[in-house]
Structure 1
Amino acid sequence: MEWYLKFILVGFSIALPVGAITVEMTKQGLKNGFFHGWAVGFGGMTIDALLILALYFGFAQILSLPYVQLPLWVIGAVFLFMLAYDSIKNADKDITMAGGKVNRSLAKTYRNGLLVAVSPGNLVFWVSIFGVVLADSYSQSGQASFIISALGILTGILLHDVGLLSVVSITRKVMSRAMIKWTSVVAGVMLFGFGCYFLYEFYVNVQNVL
C-alpha cells in the first residue's frame, strides 16, 4: 500500500505543470462542463497507459531513437496547430452555459485528448523519466511492483484531473459567455505556442543528428 501511495504522489506531481493537455482540459471544461473536460484527460491517460504497456514490453529503446522521435515532433506540432486553429475559430461556438444542454460529442472531445497526448514531449517524458522509474521498480521487485507503480501513477494523474476540473466547473458557473469565449481564444494561442515549441525542438534535434 505504501508503494502504491508513493506512486500516486509521483503521478500527481507530474500532472501539475501546465501543458497542452491541461490547457485543452480547462477549455473544454469551461465550454461544456466537467465530463467534456475529463474526456480530454481520459484521452491523455489512454496514451499514458499505452506507453506504460510499451515500456513493459521493452519498446522504450525504439521510442528513444532520434529517427523515431524526429517525425513525432512535427506530427505533434501539426496536431496542436489544428487544435489551436479550431479553438480560436470556434471560440464562440459549442459553448454551453452552466445548466444548459451540451450538444458537443464526448467522442470528439476524447479525440482531442488523444491528439494532444500523442506528442513527442509526452513520449520522451515517459521513456526518459518513467521508463527509468518503472524499470527500476520492475528490477527490484518484479512484475507485481511494476503494475502497482503504473497504477499508482495513473491514479495520481486521475486525481489531478478530477481536482482541476472540479475547480473549473465551479468557476464556470460565474463566467459569462464572453469570458468563456476569450478563454478559448487564449487557449488556442497557448496551444499554438506549444506547437511552435515542438517545431523548435524538431529543429534542434535535426541539428544534433546531423
Structure 2
Amino acid sequence: MGLFFTYVLAGLAIAMPVGAITVEMTKQGLKKGFMHGWSVGLGGMTVDLLLIIALYMGLASVLAIPFIQIPMWLIGAGFLAFLGYDSIKNSEQDITMDGEKSNKSFLTSYRNGLLVAVSPGNLVFWVSVFGAVLSDSYDAAQPSNFLIVGTGILVGILIHDIGLLTIISVTRKVMNRAMIKWVSIIAGIILIGFAGYFLYEFGMAVKGIL
C-alpha cells in the first residue's frame, strides 16, 4: 500500500502545474459545468493510460528518435492553436449558467481532452520523467508492481481533477456571462501561447539536426 500511495502523490504532482489540460478543463468547467470539465480530464487520462501501457511495451525508445519527436511538436502546435482559436472565437457561445442544462455533448469535451493530451509536451514528459520510473518498477517476477505504480499515478491525477473542478463549480455560481466569456478568451490566448512554444521547440529541433 505504501508504494501505491507514493505514486498517488506522484500523480498529484504531475497534475498540479498549470498546463494545457488544466486550462481546457477550467474553461469547459466554467462554461458548461462540472461534467464537461471532467470529460476533458477523462480524455487526458485516457491518453495517460494508453501511454503507461505503451511505455510498458517499450514505446520510450521509439519516442526518443528525433525524427519521431520533431513532427509531434508541429502536430501538437496545430491541435493547441485550433483549440485556442476556437476558445476565443466562441467565447460568447455555449455558456451554460448554473442551473441551466448544456446542449453540447460530453463527447465534444472528451475529444478536446484527447487532443490536448496527444501533444509532444505531454508525451515527452511521460517518456523522460516517468518512462524510466515505470520501467524500473516492472519486475518480471512481480509484474503487479508496475500495475500498482500506474494505477497510483492515475488515481492521483483523478483526485486533482475532481478537486479542481469542485472549486470551479463553486466559483461558477458567482460568475456572470461576461466574466466566463473573458475566462474563455484568456484560456484561448494561453493555449495559443502553448502552441507558440511547441512551434519554437519544433524550430529548435529542426535546427539541431541540420
TM range (shorter): over 0.9
Partner of 1:24: 24
Match of 2:156 in 1: 156
Counterpart of 2:92 in structure 1 is 92
Amino acid aligned to 2:93: K
- Write the distance in 2 (CA, Å) between the matches of 1:169 and 1:141: 45
- 1:191 matched residue in structure 2: 191
May I ask how many residue pairs the two structures share in their alignment? 210
Contact 2:11–2:154, Cα closer than 8 Å, also in 1: yes
Question: Are positions 1:167 and 2:167 aligned together?
Answer: yes
Structural mapping, 1:5-24, within 5 Å? 5-24=5-24
Aligned to 2:34: 34
Runs of 4+ in 1 over 3 A off after TM superposition: 139-142
The answer on 1:121 being equivalent to 2:115 is no
Structure 2 residue 111 is matched with structure 1 residue 111: yes
1:138 maps to what in 2?
138
Q: C-alpha separation between the residues in 1 aligned to 2:98 and 2:36?
A: 13
Task: Give the secondary-structure state (helix, strand or coil) at the position aligned to 2:138.
Answer: helix
Calculate the aligned-residue CA RMSD, in Å.
Answer: 1.0
- Could you give the per-residue CA deviations for residues 136-194 of structure 1, whole angstroms, max 9, x where no partner exists? 11149731100000000000000000000000000000000000000000000000000
Q: Give the corresponding residue for 2:51.
A: 51
TM-score (norm 2): 0.98
TM-score, normalised on structure 1? 0.98
Identity of aligned residues (%): 62
Q: Distance in 2 between matches of 1:136 and 1:121?
A: 22
CA distance in structure 2 between the aligned counterparts of 1:202 and 1:80, rounded to whole angstroms: 14
Contact 2:139 2:145 in 1 (8 A): no
CA distance in 2, matches of 1:37, 1:96: 12
- Aligned residue identity for 2:135: A
Structure 2 CA distance for partners of 1:173 and 1:186, relative to 1, 3 Å: same
Q: Which runs of 5+ in 1 are unaligned?
A: none
The 10-residue stretch of structure 1 (144-153 or 56-65) with the greater mean CA deviation from structure 2? 56-65
Residue type at the aligned position of 1:23: V
